[in-house]
Structure formats: C-alpha cells, structure tokens
Structure 1
C-alpha cells in the first residue's frame, strides 16, 4: 500500500491491478533505503521494506482518458464496485479507493489459500469457492454480501465460525472492509455533487492514510506464531 501511495501521489499513476501475484516479498533482509511518500510522514515511521508492488503493465496516468474507461484487474481481487460496474456494463471509474479495497481481497484470498482444505470451516469453504468463480453476476453478489455484511458489519457473529488464520486476520480484514464501504460511499457522494478535483484528491489521501495506519496497527497486534501452529491444539 505504501508503494501504491508513492506511485499515485508522487508519480501520478494508478496501478489498477492489485493481486497476490503482483505483491512480491523480498528474499533478502528488509531494505532500509526506501523513501516514505510525504503524504505518509507521521503515519509510517519505518522505512524498512520487505515487499514490493510489481507489474505496472495496466497502470494509467491519473486523469487520462484511458484511466477513466479501460477495464483492468484480476477478478478475485477487484473491488465490489468495479465488479458491479463490469457486470452491468456501466462506465468504469477506477480510483485509488478501488485498489485499496483490492488489498483487502488479496489478504482474504491468501488467508483462505493458506488454510488447509481440511481445516476450513463450512463458511470458509464456501468463500473459497465463490471468490474463485469466473461468473461476474455471482462474484458481485458474493463480494457485496461479504464486504458489507459478513465480514463488514456482522463480523462479530463469525467469531466462532472462522479457522485459525482467518480468525487472526479477521480484525484487519474487518477494518479494511468497513473503510472500503465508507470511502466508496463518500466517493459516490462527491460524484453526485460534482465536486472539484481537490476534494477527490483529499478523499484519496484520507483513504491512503486510513488504510495504511490501520494496517500497521493491526499487523503489529498479530500473534507472533507460525501459521501451522494456529491449527495445533
């Protein structure tokens, strides 16, 4: 997310294809020669880098005609709003908020993938099947329900229904899903009111700071435990 923020706020490009294949963990020890984008000064206090965002093949210059009209993204990870627009063949407005939501879908997808099939709950097994489907209509329904309800507002009711990995990451996924909803709604309101570009930019900046600060906070609170031991008595 920090790299995505730098690409957008410093370079003026939107990545538009956040997926688990485009986030690469560095094999070497973390590097400490990376610059924190000015927007995140005070939010990010360490310049150590252990992973990078790659593959800018579909990145577009922000504000260009192509940025506003071209479809891009990988189905399991695209935002619920983009999936809905694709399914309805509506105009595409791909924003940093969509890409930030995609990071949350990447975390959910990988948490499900890391969970042994034999250890997944019935709920998680259903999520795994649905997040991998290639029918847009079904994918939209799944993403909307999970984003707004199951792992959004109703997450507390799922405490007893999640396996080890999902339970560990649940607070972060929940927080990011709630933020994705809130910022998507705020963006729609700005579009309806036809606000100027400065207000949209301010919203995107607020989204970066909110997603990244909560991500750092929740990651620091994760148990310092090997993943496999989450399934051991």
Structure 2
C-alpha cells in the first residue's frame, strides 16, 4: 500500500517593515527595542552580524502580545513598556566567544548598513573582529534609510539615497557627512533638529568608542581568552548608552512623517 503524508503549513504575521512606522518617534522606539533584542542575543552568547533594513520588524498594535515587556528586565526603565520592534534573521549569527575562528574572521553584513570600521578594514584588506559596536552603528544607518524613504523633498532624498548607494570606498565618508550636515541645519524645525542631532550624537559616541585602543589593537587580531571579558564589557556599556539616548529623545523628535 502506498504510504502518504498529509502536511499543513501554518503562517502567522508577526510584524511589518520599518517603513510602516507612523513617524520618527515610533521608529526610534522600534529600533531601541530591536537593539534590546540584539543585547539579549549577545547575552545568550551570539552576535547577529547582519543588522539591515530587512532584519528589523515593526510590530503594530494589533499584533502585539500581552506579555511583550517581559524580555526587558535588564533595562529597568522599560518595565511595562509595550514592545513594538524586534530583530529577526539570525542566519549570520555566530557565537562571539568563537570569533577568532575562520568563520568569525569572515566579512559579514549588508553593505549599505555596515559600520565604517568594517568597511575601512574591507577596503584595506585588514583582519578585523566583528563587535556589537559594529551592529549598533548598523542600527543607525537603518534608521536613516527609513527617514530617506519618507522624505518628501526629492533633492534631499536623492542626497540620502546617494549616501547609501555610494561605492564602498566612499560610503563611510558620505554617510557620516550627510548625518552631520543635517544635524546642524538651522533651517529645520526644533523637532527635526532634535532628531538629526540625536543621530549625530549616536554616531559621535560610536566613533569615539571605535577610536579606543581596544578597537585599534585588540580587535585587529584574533582574540585571546583573556580578552573576552573586555570584549563583553565594552559591548554592554555601548548597548546601554545608545538605548538610553534613543529612549530619552522620545518626546523631542517629530511624531509623524509629515513633520519631517
């Protein structure tokens, strides 16, 4: 007798792309929550390594669970906060304690969103160890990509688009230049300036961390077991600083895309 199998596939929508957010305020909260998810993954021993526009989901109100705040115990100010963002696609994640192995030394990420440090190493064909700081910078570029999408000024949109699609050897310079230019544009409204200055301040914080001797020397060669604690400590500090900056700016930035 012929043996047959009957199978069912159950599919449930759990999120939408970031372009579906209602404005910068909701966007940065969504990104902050995705960063907290990245932090949880890191605490579990894994590094994502591919933060991009397709790997962060916005969770609309109708799709949010009743216990959406239970994962945020290590960020006290999120107690009771409803989760609206999540990080997905862990296909390139690797155990960060094994980063010195062959897989850990491979260049990984989506080019428009890769950190300037990784791009620079790629240009010069240098060995470099991926760090959560690199992924945190990717969250910044994802945020700016969404802003570019919603920008109604076609000339400005072209400027943003060109920044993210520039050749790899120019990308890191063009992106940061555009962020800083808009951070100090006095023609913008107070809320617009607050948003772009937030982005500029985050970029400055990440760059300052990246200039430290830890990144200049330790992460330029395979990690030793004795260096893993410092690798983690630097990461945890960066997570908290960046998430704090995003959450604190909640009421300062535009609420809707029309205000941008």
- TM (norm. structure 1) is 0.80
Equivalent of 2:238 in 207, 212, 224: 207
Q: Which range moves more in the overlay, 15-24 or 25-34?
A: 25-34
Alpha-carbon distance, 1:175 to partner: 2.1
Alpha-carbon distance, 1:96 to partner: 0.2
Partner of 1:36: 71
Alpha-carbon distance, 1:136 to partner: 1.3
Aligned-partner Cα distance in 2 for 1:7–1:70: 20
Q: Which range moves more in the overlay, 53-62 or 196-205?
A: 196-205
Equivalent of 2:218 in 176, 191, 212: 191
Q: Report the secondary structure of 2:253's partner residue.
A: coil
Select the structure that is richer in helix: 1
CA contact (8 A) 2:192 2:254 kept: no
Aligned-partner Cα distance in 1 for 2:217–2:59: 39
Alpha-carbon distance, 1:92 to partner: 2.6
Consecutive unaligned residues in structure 1, runs of 5 or more: none
Greater RCO (CA < 8 Å, at least 6 residues apart) = 2
CA contact (8 A) 2:72 2:79 kept: no
CA contact (8 A) 1:69 1:91 kept: yes
Alpha-carbon distance, 1:144 to partner: 5.2
Q: Which range moves more in the overlay, 138-147 or 199-208?
A: 138-147
Partner of 1:4: 38
Aligned-partner Cα distance in 2 for 1:30–1:168: 29
CA contact (8 A) 1:5 1:37 kept: no
Equivalent of 1:21 in 54, 65, 68: 54
Alpha-carbon distance, 1:164 to partner: 9.7
Q: How many residues align structurally?
A: 217
Q: Report the secondary structure of 1:159's partner residue.
A: coil
Partner of 1:159: 186
User: What does 1:37-52 correspond to in 2, within 5 Å?
Assistant: 37=72, 40-52=74-86
Alpha-carbon distance, 1:98 to partner: 0.4
Is residue 175 from structure 1 mapped to residue 201 from structure 2 by the alignment?
Answer: yes
Query: Cα–Cα, structure 1 residues 211 and 66, in superposed 2: closer, same or farther, change >3 Å?
Result: farther
- TM (norm. structure 2) is 0.73
Partner of 2:173: 141
Q: Report the secondary structure of 2:245's partner residue.
A: helix
Q: Note the aligned Cα RMSD (angstroms).
A: 2.8
Q: Report the secondary structure of 1:222's partner residue.
A: coil
Which of the two has higher C-alpha Rg?
2
Query: Cα–Cα, structure 1 residues 210 and 117, in superposed 2: closer, same or farther, change >3 Å?
Result: same
Consecutive unaligned residues in structure 2, runs of 5 or more: 1-34
Is residue 57 from structure 1 mapped to residue 83 from structure 2 by the alignment?
Answer: no
